[in-house]
Structure 1
Amino acid sequence: MRSSPFDATGRRCGRDLLLALALSTLAFTQAAEAQPSPALKLLILGDSLSSGLGVPEGYGFGPALARRLRADGYRNVDIVNGSMAGDTTADAATRLASTPQDYDADVVIVELGGNDMLTQTDPPVVARNLDWILDGYKKRGTRIVIGGMLSKPELGFVYNVTFDQIYPKLAARWGASLYPFFLAGVFGHPALMQDDHIHPNAAGVARIVAGIAPLVERNLDAAAGRRRVAEAR
């Protein structure tokens, strides 16, 4: 028996409807995939070494690191510089405790301790403050990069050894990435330092960025991977 014209028309309408639904689903999927993921937040928590003190605007650690990351293809990253000139580890811990929401991040660079060392704060106190900061970030799932500090030789052997051990011990304890000395390749080089012989100039900042950027990028990659896994669940 031949199919009626009504049956043929119905089949054609059904095929057309299925095709329209498939195209609509494809368009929706492509549109969803085209939506950019929220930017990763990279927080810098430090003192005058990372706040940009004494260098021209746009050439401090934050802007210089942002340029390096963009050049390396990391364009979906928001950098927030929460550094404060003059901060000790205790000052930074107090700020974090008072407004923790202001310091949330996917990746944090912790660059603190220089002012503690210059005022000869007992190393166990410095370690305790940093430990509290790192503990908080670890509990939030934040990736951590530690910008370490070394003590001045004139402070004596005991202080030097005790202080200098703080950063590798904490990095090992919390599984953080360690850049052992934030001023590596800069401190003691007049062409890279300001006249106070404490802070890096613009060229010194560029040298710091060149050294620490690979660590930062690895942690950004890890944070992005963790986000993809969470979104897939």
Structure 2
Amino acid sequence: MSRTAHRFASRRRFLLGIGLLSQIAAAPRPPIVTVLGDSITAGLGLPARDAMPAQLQAALARRGVSATVRAAGVSGDTSGGGLARVGFSVASDTAVCVVALGGNDLLQGVEPSQTKANLRGVLQNLKGRGIRAILVGVAAPPAIGQAYVREFNALYPSLAKEFRVPLYANILAGVGGNPGLVQRDGIHPNAAGAKRIGEALAPLVAQVLKGPSR
């Protein structure tokens, strides 16, 4: 090969390399889905790979949807705790936030009106920052009392309508009360239960991700 031809080949390889690097740099990053919740979404008693956020990411991948699901669950958190930390637990690069709070409000007997006000504050924060939301509820057990159950269960669809966000009515639907899907405490999902929740949420999350941003 002549010296001129060698220089030409080297220059061509260099330009091809620059083009490849440009394509890599321009490749879009997967959108971020943040799960703001309590011990159920934090994966209490489970390794991170088996917890609901990881299961949701895997379920999205099986549907051909590329996304990074970020866990922002804190065991014991109430709706008030979620409101206090939404500004820093849900980073600004989040495309969609799954808001799954309220179970500990039930356990602590928080007034449904207060839970509703707290969740409204969370949704207002997300809306103000242009972050799309999905609201995930939890069903109040009948033993608490009919009036409380009625008011508590109504707050989730009411907020979903007010903010025009999708609602998944009960995070433990199909899981709670099933010995094969919960841990020994009878409350928290085991790996199979977390997978069931992730699979159930995936179609809704995929739909929101594919929709127009705010």
TM-score (norm 2): 0.84
Instruction: Write the distance in 1 (CA, Å) between the matches of 2:130 and 2:187.
Output: 33
Contact 1:43 1:103 (C-alpha < 8 Å) held by counterparts = no
> 1:142 corresponds to which residue?
131
Q: What is the Cα deviation at residue 56 of structure 1?
A: 3.5
Which segment drifts farther, 88-97 or 117-126?
88-97
1:212 aligns with 2:182: no
> 2:114 corresponds to which residue?
125
> 2:167 corresponds to which residue?
178
2:83 to 72, 87, 93: 93
Instruction: Write the distance in 2 (CA, Å) between the matches of 1:100 and 1:209.
Output: 20
> 1:3 corresponds to which residue?
none
SS in 1 for 2:53: helix
Contact 2:60 2:202 (C-alpha < 8 Å) held by counterparts = yes
Q: What is the Cα deviation at residue 65 of structure 1?
A: 1.0
Instruction: Write the distance in 2 (CA, Å) between the matches of 1:100 and 1:187.
Output: 27
Q: Once superposed, what is the RMSD of the aligned Cα atoms?
A: 2.2
- Relative distance call for 1:155 and 1:101 in structure 2 (3 A) is closer
Instruction: Write the distance in 2 (CA, Å) between the matches of 1:209 and 1:101.
Output: 19
Which segment drifts farther, 56-65 or 106-115?
56-65
> 2:97 corresponds to which residue?
108
1:84 aligns with 2:74: yes
- Relative distance call for 1:161 and 1:104 in structure 2 (3 A) is farther
Contact 1:46 1:82 (C-alpha < 8 Å) held by counterparts = yes
- Relative distance call for 1:101 and 1:48 in structure 2 (3 A) is closer
1:203 aligns with 2:192: yes
Instruction: Write the distance in 2 (CA, Å) between the matches of 1:176 and 1:151.
Output: 21
> 1:58 corresponds to which residue?
49
Contact 1:148 1:179 (C-alpha < 8 Å) held by counterparts = yes
Q: What is the Cα deviation at residue 171 of structure 1?
A: 0.4
- Relative distance call for 1:103 and 1:88 in structure 2 (3 A) is farther
SS in 1 for 2:49: coil
Aligned-residue sequence identity (percent) comes to 35
Number of aligned residue pairs: give it: 196
2:31 to 35, 40, 56: 40
> 1:15 corresponds to which residue?
none
Q: What is the Cα deviation at residue 45 of structure 1?
A: 0.1
> 2:213 corresponds to which residue?
226
- Code of the residue aligned with 2:174 in structure 1: it is G
Q: Deviations over 1:44-98 (max 9, x none)?
A: 00000101111234100011111112222222x222111101100111111125x
Q: What is the Cα deviation at residue 143 of structure 1?
A: 1.4
Q: Which runs of 5+ in 1 are unaligned?
A: 1-23, 228-233
Computing the radius of gyration from Cα coordinates, the structure with the larger value is 1
Instruction: Write the distance in 2 (CA, Å) between the matches of 1:104 and 1:33.
Output: 20
- Code of the residue aligned with 2:47 in structure 1: it is P
Instruction: Write the distance in 2 (CA, Å) between the matches of 1:151 and 1:220.
Output: 29
Instruction: Write the distance in 1 (CA, Å) between the matches of 2:90 and 2:65.
Output: 24
TM-score (norm 1): 0.78
Which segment drifts farther, 180-189 or 99-108?
99-108
> 1:8 corresponds to which residue?
none
